[in-house]
Amino acid sequence: GDSVTQMEGPVTLSEEACLTINCTYTATGYPSLFWYVQYPGEGLQLLLKATKADDKGSNKGFEATYRKETTSFHLEKGSVQVSDSAVYFCALSDGSSASKIIFGSGTRLSIRP
């Protein structure tokens, strides 16, 4: 079945460092891809998404490009802030109606001041 694999954490960076969190997927058909973020004590928030190959999703300085040839959707940010500390989930949904979201295992990111 469909699945998502993302790099294990925790990832600890200093403020203003560059961030990459790797994510690859396995899916039949043409899934939509997402990054969700979970801040401490809060629920899941959509960070960005891409619905077809070569699309780039972006939000709050984060970017991810849907790469069909490498089945990847890596999350990147050029300069992280302390407020970016959270758990980041890569996810996909297939094209079916009422389609469920399949999540990766999550990567905990901690940013040092």
Partner 1 sequence: EPEVTQTPSHQVTQMGQEVILRCVPISNHLYFYWYRQILGQKVEFLVSFYNNEISEKSEIFDDQFSVERPDGSNFTLKIRSTKLEDSAMYFCASSESGAGGETQYFGPGTRLLVL
Residues lying near partner 1 in the complex (CB under 8 A) are found at 31-32, 36, 42-46, 49, 51, 89, 91, 93-106
**46 sits in which H/E element:** strand 44-50
Q: Which is nearer to partner 1, 13 or 87 (CB)?
A: 87
Q: Which is nearer to partner 1, 32 or 77 (CB)?
A: 32
Taking the complex as a whole, the smallest distance from the CB of residue 63 to partner 1 amounts, in Å, to 18
Taking the complex as a whole, the smallest distance from the CB of residue 103 to partner 1 amounts, in Å, to 4
What DSSP state is assigned to residue 70?
A: T
Sign of CA dihedral 56, 3, 5, 10: positive
Taking the complex as a whole, the smallest distance from the CB of residue 89 to partner 1 amounts, in Å, to 7
44: left (phi over 0), alpha (psi -120 to 50) or beta: beta
> Distance between CA atoms of 2 and 36, rounded to whole angstroms?
18
Q: Which is nearer to partner 1, 13 or 44 (CB)?
A: 44
